[in-house]
Amino acid sequence: MLEDKKIILSEKDIPRHWYNIVADLKPMDPPFNTRTGKIATKEDFLPIFCEDIIDQEMSRERFIEIPEEVVHTYKIWRPSPLIRAKHLEKFLDTPAKIYFKNEGVSPSGSHKSNSAIPQAYYNKKCGVKRIATETGAGQWGSALAMACGFYGMECVVYMVKVSFEQKPYRKILMQVYGASVFSSPSKFTEVGRKVLDTDPSSPGSLGIAISEAIEDVVTHKDTKYALGSVLNHVALHQTVIGIEAKKQMEIIGRYPDIVIACLGGGSNFSGISFPFIMDKINGTHKNLRAIAVEPSACPKLTHGVFAYDYGDSSGFTPAMKMYTLGHSFIPEGTHAGGLRYHGASPIVSAIVKEGLAETAVVKQREVFDAAIKFTKCEGILPAPESAHAIKVAIDEALKAKEEGISKTILFNLSGHGHFDLSAYEHALAGDLGDCDYSKEEVEKNLKFLPEVKL
């Protein structure tokens, strides 16, 4: 067998189809329009999304062709490398084999580009001139700003205030790509002004920023909305990660026992795990374990409820059946801004509910310890979000050592952390907190779940 360190595919190996796991799941509870009191229809989504995107959102087709032009743009950084973390294995003295898919090689620095490119492409095709969106840590904003630049569209980004302040360079990158960036809550929307009135020092949240972006969309001509996670079509686009990873593992004659990714809204977890969970569903790899890793500041899959809830803090969106901490829940301002979202993708939620995937909760300090170990061993500085997956990969590798079994572990390195150096500065200085979520806060917020009668 080849001594594997880095498994690189060629351009012709870029997937030509996305995998739509919905085709292989029990029918899911549909999105619900709480204004009409009915199941949400295509028409309900048309004010905010372009038609091609809505069709993908509702599709039950198993494989969906990737447009030639999108494949062409993917070539800038895809296929991404699969790397064996040999130095880390040695450091841990584990019999486990640890592999990771490096999505940090995308120009914007994370897996978010995998969905930003097709979303910009379809909007352009639909005649959209301007896209409004939200961003937490700034990775989605950067990816979409880049994609809009490629296709000659305007891009407006509402950036969650904590990140806007913690990560000024992310903002500048978006501006270099040509986007306009506002700190959220902002004074430019009704929603933003309302939040600022009651709490002028609000740290913001993804839910609030989404509400602002949607308000922007419905009050501007030729403008549509784009979401970087949670929705079915975003999970779909991300499956290029897992499809490539599977091919790369095949080349070296391996199949993972465990697939791990961090979970904010669920897109990178979907991306790396769904093509493997497909094999678990069809019975060829029944024992595969998929683990979604959440921060203790925002553990919706592990400690939330499985219920209908809104995607944004103001209840503009249709209600979706998902694990949620309540749409008005505002998590503490941790350094993994991309994981501070109150809900989880309805597909990932259904998969966890069905027992097809597990969850793990980790704390901020142990996450940064793992990130620093990983960086020393492998040289790559991970995004704080991605470090959540690393922490659990290390835990599983150490468990394998205890049990004396050689396991194959695959995790997704969703992005690099070059814009997160101030977080690392705090980690090195030892002044990070653990940021546990408050049970009482969640209970309070769960009282505001929408009422849905199907």
Ligand X SMILES: *Cc1c(COP(=O)(O)O)cnc(C)c1O
To the nearest whole angstrom, how small is the minimum distance from the Cβ of residue 265 to ligand X? 4
> Among residues 114, 183, 239, 414, which is the contact residue for ligand X, using CB under 6 A?
414
To the nearest whole angstrom, how small is the minimum distance from the Cβ of residue 231 to ligand X? 10
Neighbours of 144 (CB within 10 A): 33
> Among residues 205, 229, 302, 314, which is the contact residue for ligand X, using CB under 6 A?
229
The C-alpha atoms of residue 3 and residue 9 are separated, in whole angstroms, by 16
Of 350-409, binders to ligand X (CB under 6 A) are: 383, 385-386
DSSP state at residue 415: B
Tell me, rounded to whole angstroms, the distance of Cα 193 from its chain centroid. Answer: 28
What residue type is assigned to position 131 of the chain? I
Q: Is 112 in the site for ligand X (CB under 6 A)?
A: yes
Respond yes or no on whether the N-terminal peptide bond of residue 168 is cis (omega within 30° of 0): no
Q: Is 207 in the site for ligand X (CB under 6 A)?
A: no
**Is the Cα dihedral 421, 424, 428, 429 positive or negative?**
positive
Q: Is 216 in the site for ligand X (CB under 6 A)?
A: no
> Among residues 264, 299, 311, 326, which is the contact residue for ligand X, using CB under 6 A?
264
**Is the Cα dihedral 366, 271, 106, 58 positive or negative?**
negative
To the nearest whole angstrom, how small is the minimum distance from the Cβ of residue 276 to ligand X? 16
Of 268-307, binders to ligand X (CB under 6 A) are: 268-269
* Cβ contact 238:261 at 8 Å: no
To the nearest whole angstrom, how small is the minimum distance from the Cβ of residue 256 to ligand X? 18
Respond yes or no on whether the N-terminal peptide bond of residue 79 is cis (omega within 30° of 0): yes
Q: Which two tokens stand for residue 272?
A: 């790396």
To the nearest whole angstrom, how small is the minimum distance from the Cβ of residue 251 to ligand X? 26
To the nearest whole angstrom, how small is the minimum distance from the Cβ of residue 35 to ligand X? 27
248 or 414: whose CB is closer to ligand X? 414
Q: Is 102 in the site for ligand X (CB under 6 A)?
A: no
End-to-end CA, the chain: 55
The C-alpha atoms of residue 446 and residue 443 are separated, in whole angstroms, by 5
> Among residues 102, 133, 267, 445, which is the contact residue for ligand X, using CB under 6 A?
267
Binding site for ligand X (CB under 6 A): 110, 112, 137, 139-140, 229, 262-269, 338-339, 383, 385-386, 414-415
